[in-house]
Amino acid sequence: MRTLRFSLRSLREKKVYRQYNQIPVMKKTLLLFTFLAAGFAAGAQVVTSLTPGYKNDTSLTKGQNHLYQVRVNKGEFFDMELMQKGVDVIIDVFDNQRHKLKSFDSTNGTAGPELVKFEAPSAGVFRLEVHPFNDSAGMPASAYAAMMESNQGKYAIRSVKVLSAKEYRQKVAEENQQAQKVVQWLSANVIPFSTVNAGNGFNDLQPLKQILKDVKYVGLGEATHGTREFFQMKHRMLEFLVKELDFRVFAIEASYAGCVNINDYVMYGKGDAHTALASQGFWTWDTEEVIDLIEWMRTYNQSVSSDRKVKFAGFDIQVNTKGGGVKKIKDYLQKVDSTRFLEMRTLLDSTESMENSPQKDSVVKMYNAFLSFFTMSKGNYVQRSSPEEYEDALAYCRVLGQLVDAYFMKDNDPRKREREWRDYYMASNFIDLVVHEKPGTKMVLWAHNGHISHNAGGFVNGGLKPFGSYLKEAYGPAYYAFGFEFNQGGFQSMEIDSTGKYKGLQEFVAKPATEKSCAWYFAQTNKPLLIFNIQNIELPGFMIDFVTSPVPTRDFGAATIRNLIDQPNGVVTLKEDFDGIIFIGETHRSRATETGKR
């Protein structure tokens, strides 16, 4: 917000000083206060003109409404990029009659770009109002107040463009021509494959051998957490990578503790697949497709020597209480330190359910003190157990500590702006997994597109630096990330209604991808199943532009608003985010197990 300053000098400059000097003192004082009040009121509504090339970097605080205006002619095209840097903003655009033309609000939270684009339906001055996100639907008053208090920070306008009607028509024509060239190139150069179902041989996947020959860590993403064909294709990719390229570990965005139970089943036959899978706690993975993958791993492991068996691991910090991690910590403490066990058992039980508790500050302090003591007591604890038991228990303690740190962090903690802490800790856990395996062990990892992305400047869950960016930093080209895209069809997700309330696990059916969105380009090849390799390949100039420019995409997580499924809700820069794309034209809802339905 600009500050307006007034002084007698400014009055003189406005050529009113003489008249002002002739007014009696009392009236003079009243006039000055009236003028100042009017000036500050006007200051609250300062309107900044946007012109091509304009840039700024400013702060937006609670209750503020920054006003901008741009003069455009009918048919001209306005294009602006605003980068959120700690505040989640909405940009409302009004025409010259003060009618709202459109609102722009992406799903990237407090970090990432808001792209404002519109064609002027008439000539005049259009107003843009930038204000903090303030939708209170379904929120208790206290939660809304807390959101408004925390949703303050910086944003920057990074580019402003205004194209004439002729320039805009020319731009559209050039974009259409370029789009057709991209589609033609993709049609001739992508790798089509025949099926998403495992057990059908690998003739159609043979080109991947050359692409992945020097890769040790393959990331398999997904554009939704509930698509049957995504899960089936990841099963088939695991089968291919294990049998053809000697991969030996499967790791997933799921409970570190709960996945130990799954590993016990696939490696040693302990328990059963359904109970083991349910213990990881995420409904997203509790599906028939993942059961099929687990059962394949168990069958495969029974047919090979111990050094060729495939392990199952989780690297997520969530749901480790339900996954059994807390029980294992308590069991170990009861064995080696009964006093500390009595002190900690209630706190340990409560950690995962206290994210919004007013006591979370004390939980953080107590848990950090416990973790410090546990580390300092290594010698004594090992003497009462074994080095292996201590290291296992310490790992459970560490992951629970990561959960406490990431989810109990105060909104005003400066660290909260640094990065997305869940992804930071997931990457730490995966890298630790690598360290504990034999050198050279190859691994497959499963997570959402947003997590496997290796774009260090990218955003996930509203925070900076996705999981995959840490892996790319650590392993370079040895990490290869496949993003998954789809054209149309079903998936499952938790539905959120217009009031913000959850309606349970539901089926969604998306229409074909919108024109010039990421999936649209692949759909235009008329190849229902294809793989597009981006890395280590010579591309013509127009394809370099395609893979290095942001394109709209659809991206859904564990919760979805129904009326948003047919429009892009994010952007992706293919070469920055992924090394390859696996595209599936038509999809269906994944099939929940009985525990997954609950």
Q: What is the pLDDT of residues 57-99, one digit of tens each?
A: 999 998 899 999 999 999 999 999 998 888 889 999 999 888 9
pLDDT of residue 20 exceeding 90, the answer is no
> Which of 458-493 are b and which e, b meaning 16 or more Cβ less than 10 Å from the residue's Cβ?
bbbbebbbbbbbbbbeebeeebbbbbbbbbebbbbb
Query: Mind listing the pLDDT tens digit for each residue in 7-18?
Result: 323 333 333 333
User: Do residues 439 and 569 share a domain?
Assistant: yes
| CA 122 – CA 286 distance, rounded (Å) | 53
pLDDT value of position 373: 97
Quick check: is 472 in a domain? Answer: yes
Mean pLDDT value of segment 287-292: 98
Residue 41 CB coordination number (10 Å): 10
The answer to whether residues 369 and 255 belong to one domain is: no
3-state secondary structure 224-278: CCCEHHHHHHHHHHHHHHHHHHCCCEEEEEEEHHHHHHHHHHHHHCCCCHHHHHH
Residue 417 vs residue 554, higher pLDDT: 554
Rounded Cα–Cα distance for residues 246 and 215 (Å): 11
**Higher pLDDT residue, 418 or 262?**
262
CA atoms within 13 A on the CB side of 5: 2
Give residue-wise pLDDT tens across range 320-359.
Answer: 776 788 999 999 999 999 999 999 988 888 876 665 566 7
DSSP-derived 3-state class of residue 546: helix
Whole-angstrom distance, CA of residue 529 vs CA of residue 192: 6
β-sheet bridge partners, residue 80: 116, 160
Q: What is the pLDDT of residue 134?
A: 80
User: Which pLDDT score is estimated for 2?
Assistant: 29
Same-domain status, 223 and 312: yes
Do 534 and 430 fall into the same domain? yes
Q: Specify if 186 maps to a domain.
A: no
SS3 143: helix
Same-domain pairing of 33 and 96:
no
Phi, psi at 528, each rounded to 5°: -65, -25
| pLDDT level of residue 108 (50, 70, 90 thresholds) | low
Domain of residue 360, residue span: 325-407
Task: Give pLDDT, residue 138.
Answer: 57
Same domain, 289 and 436: yes
386 with 483, same domain? no
214: buried, middle or exposed (CB in 10 Å: 19+, 13-18, 0-12)?
exposed
Q: Is 56 helix (H, G, I), strand (E, B) or coil?
A: strand
The separation between CA 494 and the C-alpha centre of its own chain, rounded to angstroms, equals: 17
Question: Binning pLDDT at 50, 70 and 90, where does residue 41 land?
Answer: very low
| Same domain flag for 146 and 132 | yes
Instruction: Label residue 30 by pLDDT band (50, 70, 90).
Output: very low
pLDDT of residue 569: 81
Q: Is residue 190 part of a domain?
A: no
Q: How far is CA 334 from the centre of its chain?
A: 39
Q: Which helix (H) or strand (E) holds 42?
A: helix 25-43
Tokens for 73, please give them: 């002619």
Mean pLDDT, range 489-508, rounded to an integer? 88
Q: What is the mean pLDDT of residues 520-534?
A: 98
The CB density around residue 171, as the number of other CB atoms within 10 Å, is 15
177 domain residue, yes or no:
no
CB 179 within 8 A of CB 523: no
Q: How far apart are CA 264 and CA 520, in angstroms?
A: 42
Maximum Cα–Cα distance across the chain: 104
Which pLDDT score, from 0 to 100, does residue 436 have?
Answer: 95
Average confidence score pLDDT of the chain: 88
Q: Which two tokens stand for residue 120?
A: 């002027």
Amino acid at 337: D
Cβ contacts of residue 532 below 8 Å, gap of 6+?
A: 186, 190, 191, 522, 580, 581, 583
Predicted pLDDT of residue 355: 52
Percent of the chain at pLDDT exceeding 70: 89
> Judging by beta carbons within 10 Å of its beta carbon (0-12, 13-18, 19+), is residue 595 exposed, middle or buried?
middle
- Give me the CATH number covering residue 452: 3.40.1660.10
The reply to whether 191 falls in a domain is no
Run of H or E including 405: helix 387-407
More confident residue, 105 or 220: 220
Q: How confident is the model at residue 499 (pLDDT cuts 50, 70, 90)?
A: low
Residue 139 has pLDDT above 70, yes or no: no
What is the value of pTM for the model shown? 0.84
Token pair for 168: 């805009």
- Say if residue 66 is in the same domain as residue 135: yes
Left if phi > 0, otherwise alpha if psi is -120 to 50, otherwise beta: which for 432?
alpha
Amino acid at 39: G
Query: Which of the four pLDDT bands, split at 50, 70 and 90, describes residue 43?
Result: very low
| Distance separating alpha carbons of residues 106 and 462, to the nearest angstrom | 10
The number of folded domains in the chain is 4
Same domain? For 236 and 251 the reply is: yes
230/346 same-domain check = no
Instruction: Tell whether 552 and 428 lie within a shared domain.
Output: yes
User: 410-437, pLDDT tens digit by residue?
Assistant: 877 888 878 999 999 999 999 999 999 9
Least confident of 99-103, 374-378, 407-411: 407-411
